[in-house]
């Protein structure tokens, strides 16, 4: 069997030290770069859904028809209110910022997004929250007694809890939130004949004691 001989070049101690130092610096830079890439996840921050699905091309609308759902895309938990001939619709936005997409329509079929209800950091604190800790099930109401729009929701982040905001014109910005002092989720506004607001919510029922003793 033929012996394979390998020749190694011997380096002076100083040269060996320089080589090791360069290797360590390269390794450190590579680790920092990897850490930087990991910190930047998710790799995209925005995407646009245009609704150009094949099903719409294959099923064109007739003059008296419309598609359902009326909003194509990720628009869960819709809530609608009305002022005269103007309809306004809001949706859950979870941990996305800005939050609570806001739509306008005059016929309940054709909708146009006109902004967001929660579009300032003083209103929405989701910068460190997970996808399950944002805004759920908003409820929008118009109160003709004080000519004001109200939106109530639960914000699972930033120590906000249940909040309510208001505006005279939905397209021109909303107030900073007022924190409501009750627990529970998915609150809804109930407008009475006065300008006073009442709300209901889903929460854990109080403990109820049951008499388990027999009677005879």
Question: Taken in order 149, 154, 156, 157, is the CA torsion positive or negative?
Answer: positive
Under CATH, domain 54-202 is a member of which superfamily? Glycosyl hydrolase domain; family 43 (2.115.10.20)
* Location of structure tokens 């006065």: 194
pTM of the model: 0.67
Q: Which residue has the higher pLDDT, 56 or 175?
A: 175
Average pLDDT score, the chain: 75
For residues 188 and 200, is the Cβ–Cβ distance under 8 A?
Answer: yes
Share of the chain above pLDDT 70, in %: 65
Q: Which residue has the higher pLDDT, 98 or 193?
A: 98
What number is the average pLDDT over the span 20-33? 47
Give the number of C-alpha atoms closer than 13 A to the C-alpha of residue 107, restricted to the C-beta side: 6
What number is the average pLDDT over the span 24-37? 46
Q: Which residue has the higher pLDDT, 43 or 49?
A: 49
For residues 138 and 77, is the Cβ–Cβ distance under 8 A?
Answer: yes
Exposed, middle or buried, 149 (CB in 10 Å: 0-12/13-18/19+)?
Answer: buried
Assigned token pair, 33: 């770069």
Q: 140 pLDDT exceeds 80?
A: yes
pLDDT tens, position by position, 98-114 = 999 999 999 999 999 99
Q: Which residue has the higher pLDDT, 73 or 77?
A: 77
What does the domain layout of the chain look like in residue ranges? 54-202
Give pairs for 184-191: CB < 8 Å, separation 24+: 184/154, 185/136, 185/137, 185/154, 186/136, 186/137, 186/154, 187/139, 187/152, 187/153, 187/154, 187/162, 188/139, 188/152, 189/139, 189/141, 189/150, 189/152, 189/164, 191/141, 191/143, 191/145
Q: Which residue has the higher pLDDT, 158 or 34?
A: 158
Q: 162 pLDDT exceeds 70?
A: yes
């Amino acid at each position: 069997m033929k012996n394979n001989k390998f020749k190694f070049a011997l380096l002076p101690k100083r040269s060996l030290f320089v080589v090791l130092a360069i290797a360590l610096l390269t390794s450190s830079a590579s680790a920092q770069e990897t850490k930087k890439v990991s910190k930047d996840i998710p790799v995209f921050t925005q995407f646009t859904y245009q609704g150009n699905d094949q099903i719409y091309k294959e099923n064109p609308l007739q003059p008296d028809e419309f598609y359902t759902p009326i909003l194509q895309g990720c628009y869960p938990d819709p809530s609608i209110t009305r002022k005269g001939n103007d309809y306004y619709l809001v949706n859950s936005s979870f941990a996305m910022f800005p939050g609570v997409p806001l739509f306008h329509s005059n016929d309940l079929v054709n909708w146009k997004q006109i902004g967001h209800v929660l579009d300032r950091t003083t209103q929405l604190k989701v910068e460190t929250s997970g996808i399950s800790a944002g805004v759920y099930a908003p409820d929008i109401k118009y109160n003709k007694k004080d000519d004001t729009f109200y939106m109530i929701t639960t914000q699972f982040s930033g120590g906000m809890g249940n909040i309510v905001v208001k505006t005279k014109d939905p397209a021109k910005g909303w107030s900073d939130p007022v924190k409501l002092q009750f627990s529970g989720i998915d609150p809804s506004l109930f407008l009475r004949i006065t300008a006073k607001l009442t709300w209901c919510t889903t929460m854990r029922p109080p403990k109820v004691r049951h008499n388990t003793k027999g009677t005879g």
